[in-house]
Amino acid sequence: MATSTGAASYTNTKSPTIRRILREAAELSNTPSPDYTAEPLESDLFEWHFTLRGPPNSAYSQGVYHGRIILPPAYPLRPPSFRFSTPNGRFEANREICLSISGHHEETWQPAWGIRTALVALRSFMETDVQGQLGGMETTEAVRRRLAQESVSFKCAVCAKSNADIIAECEDRCKETTSLCQEISVPTELNMGWRDELEAAKNDQSTSTRRSENSSELAQGGEPPLTEQSEAELAEGFVQTTPNVADGFSTHPPAPILGIRNRQPPSTASPTGTGAEAVPLWIDRVIVALVILLVAIVLKVLLGV
């Protein structure tokens, strides 16, 4: 991993981002932790390599994992991105992962947090469920324990050291340093953000399940479930009307309404006309016959004269 002398060329910069990165690198070096370490590359302050132990009392407890942190140019106003280089069974290797502290969720990031906070949170996230997380992977506990044992001998090509050597050097620095690191806990905002993500994933899964069940019912010819509003609308469709026999209507029961989509508005038109007081058909025929007879009489009288 990089050394503190590798950043000497940046000491005269006036950039607040560079000063913040240098300060964090010095803080991690001066107050090391036996469980994790991180340093920027000598050639690029915006790319860090980290090494951390797996969280205790878990399938990762015997593992030591290596990865990369990419800082954005606007750091710390924007969050970093994370990739694991060591196969671990929780996150896909060499793929950017989605976390509450990563660039995928800028709304939960706070500039007051730093690399140390991110490393502590990253360790705790290894014990959480995947729930469709980007960059996450599902596997068995046995596979994760096997990968944990194999991770110790993993060697980063850039750092040219194995995970075991890097964490051993970190432990030695802890023994030599008089100012011990004061361990920090995962910020409450990150815990809440992670729980919100899990809850949202569960709700999405429940919604998809309900939609799938409803689609299956419709495919089998069933009617969709009625809500309170649809029940009220359906009830309004069953309007009883009493036909008037004297006006020439035939009595018949109203047709059943099978559903809201099949409901037709009641028709007020009569069988022989468009008005509400239409004349029966036989009366029309009598009137026509009388008119014809009257015309015939008039013509006979005129021709006789």
Q: What is the pLDDT of residue 204?
A: 54
What average pLDDT score do residues 202-218 get?
52
Q: Residue 99: how many CB atoms within 10 A of its CB?
A: 29
Residue 54 Rama label (left phi>0; alpha psi -120 to 50; beta): beta
pLDDT tens across 124-151, in order? 889 887 776 667 788 899 999 999 999 9
CA distance 209 to 232: 27
Q: What is the pLDDT of residue 199?
A: 55
pTM strictly above 0.75? no
- Domain coordinates in residue numbering, the chain: 4-206
CA triplet 99, 46, 73: central angle to 5 degrees? 80
CA distance 303 to 298: 9
pLDDT tens across 13-36, in order? 778 999 999 999 999 999 999 999
pLDDT tens across 90-105, in order? 999 999 887 778 755 6
CA distance 119 to 179: 20
Cα Rg, the chain, nearest whole Å? 41
> 98, 156, 159, 174: which is the annotated catalytic residue?
98
Residue 181 annotated as catalytic: no
Task: Assign 304 a pLDDT band (cuts: 50, 70, 90).
Answer: confident
What CATH number was assigned to the domain covering residues 4-206? 3.10.110.10
CA triplet 126, 132, 111: central angle to 5 degrees? 55
